[in-house]
Amino acid sequence: MEFGILVNEGPYTHQASDTAYLFARTAIEKGHKVPRVFFYHDGVNNSTRLATPPQDDRNVNSRWSKLAEEHAVDLVVCVAAAQRRGINDDVLAPGFRISGLGQLVEMGIQHDRLVTFGD
């Protein structure tokens, strides 16, 4: 089965990002595909490499980057939501790219399931 994932919440303000990451990783481990994750609303804050969490805390954007690298997951950041939050190509963590809502629509059409995390 192919899962498209939509993340609507930031990495350290809500559990949605952590839950989405764990869902994606587990789905891949179970043999499913996760071709794309779309970050929307405050979820775009998962994409910035400027976050430097303490050493004893999880590094959310690094986990997403590693997942993308190891499993060819396309990490798409909504351009409008990113611009509203001051995020541009210069501050993206590895594996993330900025694109439009068409990527979200395409994901909903092409994948078997679209799973949303966050409000």
Q: Which residues are catalytic?
A: 78
Helices (H), the chain: 16-29, 60-71, 79-84, 102-110
Tell me if residue 101 falls in helix, strand or coil.
coil
Each as own residue / partner, the long-range contacts of residues 13-17 (CB below 8 Å, 24 or more positions apart, any chain) are 13/42, 14/42, 14/118, 16/43, 16/117, 16/118, 17/43, 17/46, 17/60, 17/117, 17/118
C-alpha pair distances (Å), 48 with each of 19, 56, 75? 19, 19, 12
